[in-house]
Structure 1
Amino acid sequence: MSPIPSPSIIVFDVNETLLDIETLTPLFTRLFDDDNMLREWFAQLVLYSQTMTLSRLYAPFGELGVGALQMTADIHKVSLTDDDIDELKQRMSEMPAHADAVPALTKLCDAGFRLVTLTNSASSASPTPLEKAGLSTFFERSFSVESIEKFKPAPETYQMVASELSVEMSELCLVACHLWDTIGAQAAGGHGAFLTRPYNAVLPAASVPTPHFMASDLVTLSDQIIDYQQ
């Protein structure tokens, strides 16, 4: 890996990176009798959010999440009720923090990094999902793509953060457990820190940017970022 300047601001993805989406599994198991259906729904949600941006269209991420649930149910010939949709919304608003989140964020703060979040999800009234998960105090700002109506990994999403913080893209490091997210950040001129949580892996193909940092847990990933700074 060629030398890169050390980032000063760490930008965290939220869903699955910091907050545990596996707590949605009971809903999908009940509806589809299959623990793996959560992943099918989530893949559809990501696919169609990116499709909307590529098509120069926009709908809030939560609305697309409900739509993706209905689409998945239609595909598998499952009937949904209003209560099912309400349960999805409730569970999405109350996802707990991963066990490695607080230790990793504490390390980065103690090392002097500025921390912010960038999420595809729309902003919400207090208490926010990050507040409910006990993570909000670590971050100086929380950004949502709703302000520019483009979903990650559109370059404008990462550039918005740099512009709002009055820094160059090279000062940002995007931490995410989705490779498509780190690819987007690196293509926009930032650093990429890839968290290989379950169901996420590198894409070994030509021209796919290699993450600058990579680990299977947030604490180790944070240590790599801190050590690079020294």
Structure 2
Amino acid sequence: MHIAFDINETLLDTAALNPLFEGMFGTSQMRQVWFLTLQEHWMTATLTDQFLPFGELATAALRQVAQQQGQSVSEAQQQALVEGLQTLPAHPDTLPALEWLSRQGHTLTALTNGSLTALQKQLQHAGLTGLFDAELSVEQVQRYKPAPQAYRLVMDHWGIDPGEMTMVAAHSWDVIGASHAGCLTGFIARPGKALDPEGFRPTWQDTDLESLTRQIVAATPEDR
């Protein structure tokens, strides 16, 4: 079975950035504002065919949020954000879920909107190195998720059809994009993440990654 995982928020806990945002803006709630602004930046870059590195978009979003608040951010603060993104801890259920899937012999792919270099640093810091059979970045296709080219990157890497791939993510736009590309989908409802109850329905969903992955394995034919 081929299962691809989003990284930030899905496997790694971005709440670890809260002290950084508290120090800059006086409240950790600005982290969510920053992340939504970052999403706007990468989706705009994809729609306008102007791919820019994730790190540049992350710091640009930080500067934009600061401007909205009538503040400014220093180069040191921007660098602290980049370094913070590369040293996020894994959610408590991440390692057990990945180790179980690996022991079962399933093919696991890390698919990130970040750079490949940053991904490798993230996995090493979070203790997840060696658990993935492939580590892929959208920089290889110059299109951010949820563009279909990002998901096809995984399919092309393994030589599989869309229906043979399951995309696991904590973002509605990610699972919707993967579904549009023909993939099966698993939504993990991390804190603050939810789907429209009257909208898109993923193939599977849960609040715990171990439970979600067991659902996927139990329901998916063994030859996938």
Normalised by the shorter chain, which TM-score bucket? Answer: over 0.9
Q: How many residues in Structure 1 have an aligned counterpart in Structure 2?
A: 221
Contact 1:111–1:226 under 8 Å retained in 2? no
Separation of aligned partners in 2, 1:87 and 1:128: 15
CA 104–125 in structure 1, closer or farther in 2 if over 3 Å, else same: closer
SS of residue matched to 1:137: coil
Separation of aligned partners in 2, 1:143 and 1:126: 8
Matched residues, percent identical? 37
Unaligned runs of 5+ in 1: 1-7
Structure 2 length-normalised TM: 0.95
Query: Are 1:110 and 2:109 counterparts?
Result: no
Query: Are 1:19 and 2:12 counterparts?
Result: yes
Amino acid of the structure 1 residue aligned with 2:101:
L
Contact 1:186–1:209 under 8 Å retained in 2? no
Q: Which runs of 4+ in 1 moved over 6 A?
A: none
41, 46, 50: which is aligned to 1:53?
46
Amino acid of the structure 1 residue aligned with 2:151:
Y
Q: Which residue number in structure 2 is paired with residue 80 of structure 1?
A: 73
Give the superposition deviation at 1:111.
Answer: 2.4
Give the superposition deviation at 1:15.
Answer: 0.6
Separation of aligned partners in 2, 1:125 and 1:138: 16
SS of residue matched to 1:128: helix
Q: Residues 1-230 of structure 1: matches in 2 within 5 Å?
A: 8-124=1-117, 128-205=121-198, 208-229=199-220
CA 127–11 in structure 1, closer or farther in 2 if over 3 Å, else same: closer
Separation of aligned partners in 2, 1:52 and 1:83: 25
Give the superposition deviation at 1:90.
Answer: 1.3
CA offsets per residue over residues 145-164 of structure 1, 9 Å max, x none?
00111100000110111011
The CA RMSD measured in Å over matched residues stands at: 1.4
Structure 1 length-normalised TM: 0.92
Separation of aligned partners in 1, 2:146 and 2:129: 23
Amino acid of the structure 2 residue aligned with 1:81:
S
Contact 2:112–2:119 under 8 Å retained in 1? no
